[in-house]
Amino acid sequence: MEPTREDILIGRVTDAEAAPDDWRELEALAAADPGVWTRLAAAQRAHALLERGVEDVLTVAELIDAPDASAARSGAAVDVAHRWRAYAGWAAAAMIGVAWAGVSGVLPGASSPSGVPGAPGGQGVITAGPPRLAPDELMERYLDTGRAQGRVLAELPMVMVESRPLESGEGAEVIYLRQVLERVIVRDMFEVGADELGRPTVAPVMRPSFTRTDPI
Amino acid sequence: MAGDPEAVRALWETHRRWVAAVILAHKPRDAELEDLLQEVAVRYVRTIHELRDPASLRGWLRAVAVNVARTAGRRSSTRLRLTKGGAAGMSAGVGATEDVSVEVAAAEEGRSALEAAQRLRPEYREPLLLRCVRGMTYHQIAHAMGLPITTVETRLARARRMLIEEMERHRTGAAND
């Protein structure tokens, strides 16, 4: 199935590669067969949809930076991506009510500006910044600091929870979840549960080994 | 350049999107794009200093990406999936209400189009996906793939026609289910 001249011209127009002569040639074809415009519209629609799908998937590329040469040589950078599976378990454990105590610091030698080592949410890091920063800037600062200290492993794709058009007709309100994959070193772990009367209880987790493999 | 870490990093940032598109075109379905792109980034940093001709960077990067993507087929991946794709990094999550926005619907259509493209043969799939990366011209695609522009143009024309047919087939199939 060799492409026809029409296919080539439609391709050029769709890809914004058409020269004036290409347009003239396509218009001449369309004068004889108006179905050309329908096929052009179909090609443009297919391209727009595919472009959308590809762009959405490729947003992940922005998260992948070139590692330092020393890390690349040792293979450490690759390990980070593969270690996600194991560490994701800790993030999931936090979500189901596991509390930790006696946090010994993010990483050996790392310190927390908040004075609350390993405090969930890293409040100390955020409040240490200059006032009047926008939330996004503060969040970026938190992520940068977390990455530098080894606490933040990655920011995962956002999850849209809800969206609705604004009454003004311009734009939409979007509610979404931001997910940050983090790592901390802890001495002890406790599980928050409930007794038979529904009262909250705290019990030590004897074997703190957990790996999540199901979708969060 | 190879001795300047900042330049190496900046160059990677310039190219990583289209490199990701190449991986997407060649990777097995169960391999994770992030993992493979990370692996290409590591190989890039390790060996960029061996590249003698800067003009051959695109072709070299593509070769690395294709190699990493194809060899990934021999490894199994059990990477947890946190979200199912999404609109500009977002996806409809568990708590999504019935008030699904036009934006989410468009993202769904985009995902469906990508799935249709991924059913095409690699020689058609790759230029088609590369063309969807912002700023990739026929000339740049031809350069990266080591093909004449006319060949790229021909493949794109055929690929697009096959894509439309594939999307139509999928739509018809879904309507009949």
How distant, in Å, are the alpha carbons of A124, A132, A150 from that of A129? 9, 9, 19
Tell me which of A54-63, B80-89, B137-146 is least confident: B80-89
Which has more confidence, A28 or A172? A28
Give the pLDDT confidence of A181-211 residue by residue, as tens digits.
888 777 667 777 777 777 777 777 766 666 6
- A26: which residues sit within 8 A by CB, 6+ positions away? A6, A9, A10, A13, A18, A36, A40
Nearest chain A CA: its distance from B177 CA (Å): 23
Give B-chain residues touching A83 at CB under 8 angstroms.
none
Question: What is residue B36's predicted lDDT score, i.e. its pLDDT?
Answer: 92
Size of interface A-B (CB pairs under 8 A): 227
Extract the tokens encoding B80.
Answer: 């947890």
Banded model confidence at residue B2, pLDDT cuts 50, 70, 90:
low
State the average pLDDT for chain B: 82
Cβ neighbourhood burial of A25 (10 Å; 0-12, 13-18, 19+) = middle
- B128: which residues sit within 8 A by CB, 6+ positions away? A50, B117, B120, B156, B159, B160, B163
Question: What is residue A117's predicted lDDT score, i.e. its pLDDT?
Answer: 39
The fraction of chain A above a pLDDT of 70, given in percent, is: 64
Q: Does A95 touch chain B (CB under 8 A)?
A: no
B98-176: which CATH architecture? Orthogonal Bundle (1.10)
A22-26, A62-66, B165-169 — most confident range:
A22-26
Each domain of chain B, given as residue ranges in start order, spans: 5-77, 98-176
Task: Indicate if the pLDDT at residue B45 is higher than 70.
Answer: yes
Task: Indicate if the pLDDT at residue A105 is higher than 50.
Answer: no
pLDDT (mean) for A84-103: 40
Q: Does B83 touch chain A (CB under 8 A)?
A: yes
Give B-chain residues touching A59 at CB under 8 angstroms.
88-89
Task: Indicate if the pLDDT at residue B150 is higher than 80.
Answer: yes
Q: Does A73 touch chain B (CB under 8 A)?
A: yes
- A146: which residues sit within 8 A by CB, 6+ positions away? A122, A125, A152, A180, A182
0.80 exceeded by the pTM? Answer: no
Extract the tokens encoding B67.
Answer: 């190699």
H/E stretch holding A101: strand A98-103
Identical fold between B5-77 and B98-176: no
| Residue among B38, B82, B131 minimizing CB distance to A81 | B38
Question: What is residue A111's predicted lDDT score, i.e. its pLDDT?
Answer: 41
Banded model confidence at residue A177, pLDDT cuts 50, 70, 90:
confident
Which has more confidence, B67 or A135? B67
Give A-chain residues touching B42 at CB under 8 angstroms.
67, 72, 75, 77-78
Domain B5-77: which CATH number of 3.30.2450.30, 3.40.50.300, 1.10.1740.10, 2.70.150.10: 1.10.1740.10
Q: Is there a contact between B9 and A65 if contact means CB atoms under 8 Å apart?
A: yes
Asked if this assembly's ipTM is beyond 0.95, the reply is no
A122 within 8 A of A203, measured Cβ to Cβ: no
pLDDT (mean) for A168-178: 84
- How far is B126 from A186, CA to CA, in rounded Å? 46
Give the pLDDT confidence of B48-95 residue by residue, as tens digits.
888 888 888 999 999 999 999 998 866 544 443 333 333 334 444 444
